[in-house]
Amino acid sequence: MLKQRIITAILLIPFVLGGVFYLPASYFAWALVPVFLIAAKEWGKFIEPECNITQWSFTFTMGILLIALNILVPASAVWAPTGLNPIYQGVIGLGAIWWLASLLLVMGYPKTSKRWSTSPMLKSMFGQLTLAPCFAALIALKSLSTPAHPYYGGCLVFLVFLVVWAADTGAYFFGRSLGKHKLMPNVSPAKTLEGLLGGLLTTMVVVALVMYLSPEQELPLVIGVTLITAIASALGDLSESMFKRSANVKDSGNILPGHGGVLDRIDSLTAALPVFTLFYIAFWM
């Protein structure tokens, strides 16, 4: 399994980094659509695990939503002199509200699942609130590139990736070696408090890298945004685990050998990207 994960990651990383850094924002926005449609099809399993019609109908509605967002607000119009486009503000802001609600659902699981586990409508809405703000946040960050700084937006996206990867890696190794206290046993029995704290500690490597490359940044701000983004990434992971457990699904898919589905790879990013984007706009721009 570990060997498969490493091989798949090695094959994927050049495509991911190539898109993040070298695709123009307009092409990047459209290249994301099929990726998120695969994720939407996988989310459909959480809604009705045995019903292909439900899964494809959810994928279709997500496709309409993402395509409409790209048409209504092309990448060149995402940022105006006054700031982020109002439609993007609304979508990403809704994402932030959803993740606060998701935190309550995760903390109260399985009791809270009684209110939504039998409702396809609510699970569909939760899927839209999980995927659409992440999609919008990716495009918003990527679109901050300018002719004078063509890689700036890509660097911001990559920074979020680094925080999530550092948090996941630290949580894995600290959890395996030191983990004793379960974090959310009803949601994900393997995750521990020690793993979470270890993951947060590991993200300080990213802070050190940012301060080394850009020493003019305010250290407390960089630490604060990094930790909040890492905590959000953990919530994204736990939230997907909650929906998988409720639907009795082990992996969201099998398209990525050793990793599972697309959702299994981007679950942490679905929360980290909108949260980082909002904090970046509020405190870092």
The model's pLDDT over 199-230, given as tens digits with 9 standing for 90+, comes to: 999 999 999 999 999 999 999 999 999 999 99
Give the pLDDT score at 259. 63
- What is the rounded distance in angstroms from the CA atom of residue 227 to the CA atom of residue 48? 35
pTM of the model: 0.96
User: What's the total number of domains in the chain?
Assistant: 1
Write down the pLDDT at residue 52. Answer: 93
* Residue 60 belongs to domain spanning: 2-284
The two structure tokens encoding residue 266? 């981007």
pLDDT digits (tens, 9 = 90+) for 69-97: 999 999 999 999 889 999 999 999 999 99
What is the reported pLDDT for 260?
Answer: 76
Closest C-alpha to 249, from 264, 236, 266, 265: 264
What is the predicted pLDDT for the residue at 1? 56
State which residues of the chain have pLDDT below 70: 1-3, 5, 256-259
Give the residue from 61, 124, 101 showing the smallest Cα distance to 239: 101
